[in-house]
Chains A and B, each alone.
Chain A
Amino acid sequence: MKKPVLKIDKLSKSFGAIKANDNLNLNLFRNEIHALIGPNGSGKSTLVKQISGFLKQDSGQIYLEEIDISNCSAEHRSRMGIARSFQISSVINSFKVIDNLRLSLMGRDGGYLNPLNNIYRNKDYSDEAFDLLNIVDLTNKANDLVSTLSHGDKRKLEISLALSMKPKLFLFDEPMAGLDKISSQLMIDLFKKLKVKAPILLIEHDMESVFALADRISVLDYGSLIASGNEKEIKSNSKVQEVYLGDEN
């Protein structure tokens, strides 16, 4: 039997009387893109925040390669190999593109409290940063200030930051949001390559992208999992049609 890279076991989270996640179970396996869809407020982003350690669950467990990480801090989980992007692009805008990569490489290696080594003279980091930028086609903007980048380029930078962590899994929260059709297609092609490196848990509202990418789709509604399956199963599920997809699908 295949062992999941990520296992969510009976995860619950409430904000006052509102149940954001209710007794959720979910697995993410190697070489797969698992899309999480659902209406706004269904608890998708809350789930990503709990997996990445930015939010503490009320109950339930999270396992990364069978290790219980439920009580680990966000930074510890990142070093363990959980790489994420944010719903709204979250990069260091006042840094150059390459310095964002340098930051994440030294974060990954854990030497970030060193007060004396000159990070700008570390050739290994520079070389690795350029390799990562090459994957997302940003090498020509390596020395640009991030604040001058377009929205699409910031998204690409976030992907390269996630890649730099040598991840065991990717958590991508609405990576196509705000992208035009060409950029979305580039992102889709990129994700297809990335899933070989590490499985992807993808939150996305753009159903075209979801159906183009996802090996498996899970649907959340009011914090509960209402369906899980492949594209065909999800499209034909009457409950999913009712709460999310509508009649046109």
Chain B
Amino acid sequence: MMSEKKLNFLILLFLLLVPLFSMLLNDIYITTLFSKIIILAIAGIGLNLILGYGGMVSFGHAAFFGLGGYVTGILAFHFNNYEPIQILVFEFEGTNQLLFIWIFTLIFSSILALFIGYFSLRTTGVYFIMITLAFAQMLYYFSISWPTYGGEDGLSLSLRNQIPFLNTMDPITFFYICYVWLIITIILVKFILNSPLGISLKASKENEDRVRSVGINPKKVKLISFIISGAITGLAGSLYADLNRFVSPTILSWQMSGEIMILVILGGMFRLYGPILGAFFYIILEQFLGGITENWQFWLGFIILLEVLYAKAGIMSFLIKDKYDEKTSS
């Protein structure tokens, strides 16, 4: 048992040293595996902002994750083919520069989140779950029926997209790119949670009437938070596409939304670092159980069942001193 601050520090320190362990064990796959963990953790932190702190159960975050992936894939595809992207009468060049790709990803994910959030936030509870799921499924089926970008087979990237002076094909370099994004995401969300927007979001989750009676519009608060959440998840999708050098409709499917939600719940909602632990255990369980049995999802489901019954605050609650509480500040 330790303090939450100490655990958070140890998590970041451990992740920082992963490439070193990987080199010592002479197994570079470990670094790639942890790149995936970090990317899913970023997506989880994005979802946790609205799920844990805002009480919005979005079952459609694969829409943003997938859009991030497809923006990355499509821009790289057109760069490699020397064909401009045609939208109506306009033509745009593709690019393989990650700095531009990330900016485009953030813009497109935010616009999509604004659109989905605007309609979804008119509903609550189970209807909110269903409408976010419906939007994501619309994009999923659209991507399947879009032959230009591979349809059901997906889209391959011959090389990872680039950053000047860095070799992104090197697994360790790419790992640290993901690590830096994780740190940026943590700092951003921590800022938000302590900001007027964050405190309004947490209050809106608990008591909308009280929030309205002090002059705050909870719908606006939720919409802005939903957009930020979507943008973070979109960015994670972009990194995921580059990690695998492949993007397919799978990352837009409801299973992907479920995976992101599971790792948030597994690690611990209401905790900023919960999704990192959740992603770690999810991927490790996938690898470990996957090596033992084909039906590893069954055992994963069993573990989640135990967690929901006995440790609602997730794995974090086993490791830190302070017990379950819906924290008011991070």
Contacts and interface: CB of A to CB of B under 8 A. Distances in A.
B212 A74 contact: yes
A95 B206 CA distance: 10
A102 B209 contact: no
Interface string A101-134: 0111011101111111111100000000000000
A103 B221 CA distance: 13
Contact of B328 (A54, A94, A104, A107): A94
Interface string B179-213: 00000000000011011111110110011011111
Interface in B41-98: none
A110 B200 CA distance: 11
A238 interface: no
A99 B328 contact: yes
A195 to B, nearest CB: 20
User: Number of contact residues on A: which range applies?
Assistant: 35 or more
Nearest to A85: B213
Given A75-B216, A107-B211, A107-B214, A94 B196 contact: no
B209 A107 contact: no
A52 interface: yes
Interface string B209-252: 11111111100110010001000000000000000000000000
B325 to A, nearest CB: 7
A179 B197 CA distance: 35
A74 to B, nearest CB: 4
A115 B192 contact: yes
A92 interface: yes
A91 interface: yes
Contacts of A73: 212, 217
A5 B274 CA distance: 51
A96 B328 contact: yes
Contacts of A74: 212-213
A90 B207 contact: yes
Contacts of A103: 199-200, 203, 211, 214, 216
Given A94-B326, A94-B328, A96-B328, A112 B197 contact: yes
A176 interface: no
Contacts of B328: 94-96, 99
Given A91-B207, A165-B215, A120 B194 contact: yes
Contacts of A78: 212-215
Contact of B203 (A83, A84, A95, A118): A95
A71 interface: no
A161 interface: yes
B191 A54 contact: no
B167 interface: no
Contacts of A119: 194-196, 198-199
Nearest to B329: A120
B299 to A, nearest CB: 34
A164 interface: yes
Given A112-B200, A119-B194, A120-B329, A75 B212 contact: yes
A114 B196 contact: yes
B197 A115 contact: yes
B221 to A, nearest CB: 7
B220 A164 contact: no
A73 B207 CA distance: 17
B212 A118 contact: no
A111 B212 contact: no
A224 to B, nearest CB: 27
Contacts of B203: 92, 95, 103
A76 B219 CA distance: 13
A207 to B, nearest CB: 27
A244 B192 CA distance: 52
Contacts of A93: 206-207
B196 A92 contact: no
A63 interface: no
A84 B202 CA distance: 21
Interface string A70-82: 0001111011000
**Chain A CB within 10 Å, residue with most, of B200, B209, B213:** B213
A118 B206 contact: no
Contact of A107 (B191, B194, B202, B215): B215
A211 interface: no
A54 B199 CA distance: 22
B197 A104 contact: no
A86 B198 CA distance: 24
Contact of A112 (B209, B213, B221, B326): B221
Given A106-B196, A113-B220, 14 more contacts: A78-B212, A86-B210, A93-B207, A94-B202, A94-B206, A102-B199, A107-B211, A112-B221, A114-B196, A115-B195, A115-B198, A115-B224, A116-B191, A119-B194
Interface of A: 52, 54, 73-76, 78-79, 83-84, 86, 90-96, 99, 102-104, 106-108, 110-120, 161, 164-165
23 contacts: A75-B215, A84-B213, A90-B213, A92-B206, A92-B207, A93-B207, A95-B328, A99-B199, A102-B199, A103-B211, A104-B214, A107-B214, A107-B215, A113-B196, A113-B197, A113-B220, A113-B224, A114-B197, A115-B191, A118-B191, A119-B198, A119-B199, A165-B214
